[in-house]
Amino acid sequence: MEEASFLYQAFIFLLAAVVGVPIAKQLGLGSVLGYLVAGIIIGPFAMGLVGQDVTDIMHFAEFGVVMMLFLIGLELQPKKLWKMRMPILGLGGLQVVITMVLLTLLALVFDLHWKMALAIGMIFALSSTAIVLQTLSEKDLLRTDAGKSAFSVLLFQDIAVIPMLTLLPLLATLPVESSQSVGHTELEAWQQAALVFAVITGIILVGRYLVRPIFNWIARTGLREIFIATSLLLVLSITIAMQEIGLSPALGAFLAGVVLAESEYRHELEVGLVTFKSLLLGLFFITVGASINLELLMQSPWLILLLVTALIVIKIIVLMILAKQFKMALIENLLFSFALAQGGEFAFVLFSFASQNGVLGQDIISLLTVVVALSMALTPVLLIACEKVIIPRLSFGKERREFDTVDDGETPVIVAGYGRFGQIVSRILRSQGFDTTLLEYDAVQIDLVKKFGTKAYYGDVTNEEVLRAAGADTAKLMVIAVGNQEKTLKVIDLCHKHFPHLKIYSRAKGRREAYEQKKAGADIVMRETLGSAVILGREALMGLGYRKYQAHRTATAFYHYDSQHLEELAEVWGDKQYVIKAAERAEMLEAVLKADQADSSAMRRAWNTPVSLEEEESDDEENRDAESDGAELKNKPQES
Amino acid sequence: MTTRVLLNLVHPIFEKSWANQAMLEAIRDLDYVYVNDLYEEYPDYFIDIKREQKLLLEHPLVIFQHPFYWYSSPSLLKEWQDLVLADGFAYGEGGYQLAKNHWLNAITAGAAKDSYTPEGFNQFSTEELLRPFEQTADFCGMNFVKPFIMYEAETISHSAVEKEAIRYRDYVDSLAKSLDLLSDDEPVEED
């Protein structure tokens, strides 16, 4: 397959994904399994549509895992991460150590040298971040206890790779085939440590102080693709930096994500990267499928099957016991344990590293690679079995704990467009203690309001994902104050399609725009000039000598009648052509004026305190006696 | 069914008034009562005079349910009186259109009943204090019926409030029956 050009390969991979994933989804198997099976089918050992060199593509696709961790980091403010320190260190740490010991012992049973056994134990102790997180997020389990614990363990494993990379060369038993190594292992330990420290500090500092102005500057250009390119560049730079010092790029990206979790560009970064992440992850899963060496599997099926089973069972048992110690509910525990019971993508990296350093021989590595890949492919199947077969059989039935309260980011109101208009709306709401999520597409504006201590998020509100990330699923109201008709209509449409529970309050330029927005389905539409024009009209009346209250009443009358007619006309608008609309408008204006007149004649009659028509009011001397006067007056006006 | 009793609810902080909520809740048992929540209809005091007058003409008994603010009512009711009971409608030439209507104040008062006595700190009886309403009704030719008053509305127990609310409902119901508002021959409809 040497002639396989890049385009041809891309074609095959995309085709496999496009055919495989929807089918798998339809069968209820989830996308991961779809990718894996598609990979097996197009792989060198089945149809052979892609070359033997899938491992190169796999390493490229691993960038998807890095991006995934970056995106997860974006969701996780440092405070939340700090709260997770116990599960990360406790659960994660114990999982890695205990699993490593047990697997090492198992390897010793196979009569391997203890150094080899230890290396294998280490490598197999890791699980697959990509498979686990993708599968859990697809099942919407990431926010459950099981999901969060699984994530903690995976995070610790990413950290654990650092000492593993340091230790592996010490376990060499075979002649070293090349001195090439991952990272600068030839440095002294303290130098290495200092380097690691420096790079991590660098990432944090850059994320905190440099990234914001850069994005700011980029956002000002208004070029969306450059913004996305910048996001990609950011993640890529971290990856390279981490690889240079021999750390897990995923870990570095995660860290950078956490640092940026509080930046106003969070939503936009998410949106820009999420597609790339998903595609690359898909590609990664396909390559995992394609790399399963079916020939080897055919040669020694029983041995491989035994190893895969042993790996999965040992992992599940360790995880279950630990989860129980950490007081996880049984159902969560099962999900958690089944989710993490596989070898991880880091095994592939560590295998090649181990082979370079003469720790493991090529024959063992090819065998174990199949074991890892198979265990990965089995994870979605195991989870389905767990969900569909095991959990329903538990006598406690299906009750799962409510989704955990990670809701400190939820606000009842989303304000799209934080310009002068949105600010007033939002400030009124906030004054009453209602939190608002502010979205704004103008970086300059974001900067401006930041100076006043308000945080608006940078994001394109006509993007469904931005709205979702802003919490449209849980919010109650959507205030659209963007002042652009096309965008406003788009947002109204999006809300109707994807978030039908949201009540929509929208800003319209004029009458025509208001009609269109009403038609599109906005609940409350307000013309942006109406309020201020009415008030100015009131002021003008005062300037002409009206007493303030009269002026106020007249202006208010106009406001009420005008709004009312707008409501009425909105329903007929759009059915016919402009001419008719214009006629209606004229008719309506007349109606407003008439109504106004009718009202002012009513007002002239108002406040005419009933006076006695026949006699002068008895004077104002004593209030307390008014009662007796009243008695006298009682019937007189009636006769008049 | 067509409603026969108009309940003009006048409370600027209805959401915080347990007593008024209980009263409204009880009155909802009577399906011939039309509830007109004035502060909800006219938050900006811009009263739709025509609508209010029409409602009055359609309902022979009008209840004003309100707290006893400064021995009277919340200010919106005063605005309502000033605008709705207008010359040429409620009195004057072409007026007295409400001459066959009945007027009922349903009041929640914070103080105890015995404070509305010459010895009590409120000095005057509620009867005396309500004279402006009585005279207004009378001036328009309306029949001012005995007010309903719930005393100590903020301090009595919830169960006592509920009891008072039931008393309120029964009072209105008995009024509607004794005034013969519910029979089919419609008394007043627009002239």
CA-closest candidate to residue A293, choices A379, A380, A365: A365
Q: Which CATH class is domain A408-528?
A: alpha beta
C-alpha–C-alpha distance, residues A482 and A464, integer Å = 16
Q: Which CATH class is domain A6-391?
A: mainly alpha
Report pLDDT for A401: 30
The answer to whether residues B55 and B96 touch, using CB atoms and an 8 Å cutoff, is no
- Whole-Å CA distances, A236 to A64, A201, A209: 11, 17, 19
Residue range A507-511: average pLDDT?
A: 89
Give the closest of B44, B50, B82 to A556, CB-based.
Answer: B44
Most confident of A35-44, A277-286, A368-377, B1-10: B1-10
The CATH 3.40.50.720 domain(s) of chain A lie at 408-528
Give the closest of A560, A603, A637 to B139, CB-based.
Answer: A637
Report pLDDT for B19: 94
Q: Which of residues 27-66 of B touch A (CB under 8 A)?
A: 44, 46, 49-50
Q: How far is B94 from chain A (nearest CA, A)?
A: 11
B139 contacts in chain A (CB < 8 Å): 610, 634, 637-638
Report pLDDT for A184: 47
For A311-343, the pLDDT digits (tens) are: 999 999 999 999 888 888 888 888 899 999 998
CA-closest candidate to residue A541, choices A529, A532, A550: A550
On average, the pLDDT of chain A sits at 79
Rg, chain A, Cα only: 34
Phi, psi of B48 (to 5 degrees): -80, 95
C-alpha–C-alpha distance, residues B36 and B6, integer Å = 7
For A165-197, the pLDDT digits (tens) are: 778 878 887 766 544 444 445 566 677 778 878
CA-closest candidate to residue B33, choices B67, B66, B65, B59: B59
The tokens 């007493």 sit on which residue?
A547
B96 contacts in chain A (CB < 8 Å): 638
What angle in degrees, to the nearest 10, is found between the helix axes of A145-167 and A93-109? 60
Distance of CA A196 to the CA centre of its chain: 30
H/E segment holding residue A440: strand A436-440
Strands (E), B48-155: 61-67, 102-108, 143-144, 148-150
The answer to whether residues B76 and B39 touch, using CB atoms and an 8 Å cutoff, is yes
- Whole-Å CA distances, B153 to B67, B127, B168: 9, 18, 13
Residue of higher predicted confidence among A283 and A591? A283
Tell me if B139 and A560 make a contact (CB, 8 A cut-off).
no
Residue A111, pLDDT > 90, answer: no
Tell me if B49 and A638 make a contact (CB, 8 A cut-off).
no
Q: Which residue of B41, B81, B83 is the best one to mutate when testing the A interface, meaning the one whose CB has the most A CBs within 10 A?
A: B83
Q: How far is A519 from chain B (nearest CA, A)?
A: 26
Q: Scanning every residue of chain B, which has its alpha carbon at the shortest distance from the alpha carbon of A554? A: B46
What is the number of CB-based contacts under 8 A between chain A and chain B?
42
Give the closest of A556, A605, A640 to B86, CB-based.
Answer: A605
Tell me if B49 and A630 make a contact (CB, 8 A cut-off).
no
Report pLDDT for B61: 95
For A290-319, the pLDDT digits (tens) are: 878 888 888 888 988 999 999 999 999 999
Domains annotated for chain B, with CATH where assigned, are 5-178 (3.40.50.360)
The answer to whether residues A35 and A101 touch, using CB atoms and an 8 Å cutoff, is no
For the stretch A607-617, what's the b/e string if a residue is b when 16 or more beta carbons lie within 10 angstroms of its beta carbon?
eeebeeeeeee
Q: Report DSSP letters for A394-438, one per residue.
A: STTTT--PPPP--GGG--SEEEE--SHHHHHHHHHHHHTT--EEE
Q: How far is B82 from chain A (nearest CA, A)?
A: 5
Report pLDDT for B76: 95
Amino acid at A443: A
Does B114 touch chain A if contact means CB atoms closer than 8 Å?
A: no
Alpha carbon distance, N-terminus to C-terminus of chain B: 22
Q: Scanning every residue of chain B, which has its alpha carbon at the shortest distance from the alpha carbon of A599? A: B49
The full length of chain A comes to: 640
- Give pTM, 2 decimals: 0.49
DSSP state of B114: G
The CATH 1.20.1530.20 domain(s) of chain A lie at 6-391
Confidence class of residue A397 from pLDDT cuts 50, 70 and 90? very low
For B115-131, the pLDDT digits (tens) are: 999 999 999 999 999 99
Does A637 touch chain B if contact means CB atoms closer than 8 Å?
A: yes
Report pLDDT for B115: 94
Q: Which residue of B53, B80, B91 is the best one to mutate when testing the A interface, meaning the one whose CB has the most A CBs within 10 A?
A: B91
Does A362 touch chain B if contact means CB atoms closer than 8 Å?
A: no
Confidence class of residue A551 from pLDDT cuts 50, 70 and 90? confident
Does B96 touch chain A if contact means CB atoms closer than 8 Å?
A: yes
B91 contacts in chain A (CB < 8 Å): 610, 637-638
Does B121 touch chain A if contact means CB atoms closer than 8 Å?
A: no
ipTM: 0.75
CA-closest candidate to residue A460, choices A272, A613, A245, A312: A272
Strands (E), chain B: 5-9, 33-37, 61-67, 102-108, 143-144, 148-150
Report pLDDT for A219: 81
Give the closest of B50, B131, B141 to A638, CB-based.
Answer: B141
Residue B11, pLDDT > 90, answer: yes
Percentage of the residues of chain B whose pLDDT score is greater than 70: 95
Distance of CA A67 to the CA centre of its chain: 13
Residue A237, pLDDT > 50, answer: yes
Tell me if B96 and A553 make a contact (CB, 8 A cut-off).
no
H/E segment holding residue A226: helix A224-244
Tell me if A605 and B87 make a contact (CB, 8 A cut-off).
yes
A614 contacts in chain B (CB < 8 Å): none
Tell me if B88 and A553 make a contact (CB, 8 A cut-off).
no
C-alpha–C-alpha distance, residues A585 and B105, integer Å = 44
Report pLDDT for B136: 95
C-alpha–C-alpha distance, residues A417 and A440, integer Å = 5
Tell me if A630 and B131 make a contact (CB, 8 A cut-off).
yes
- The alpha carbon dihedral of B151, B154, B157, B163 has a sign of positive
B44 contacts in chain A (CB < 8 Å): 556
Phi, psi of A543 (to 5 degrees): -60, -30
Residue of higher predicted confidence among A458 and A15? A15
Tell me if B50 and A556 make a contact (CB, 8 A cut-off).
no
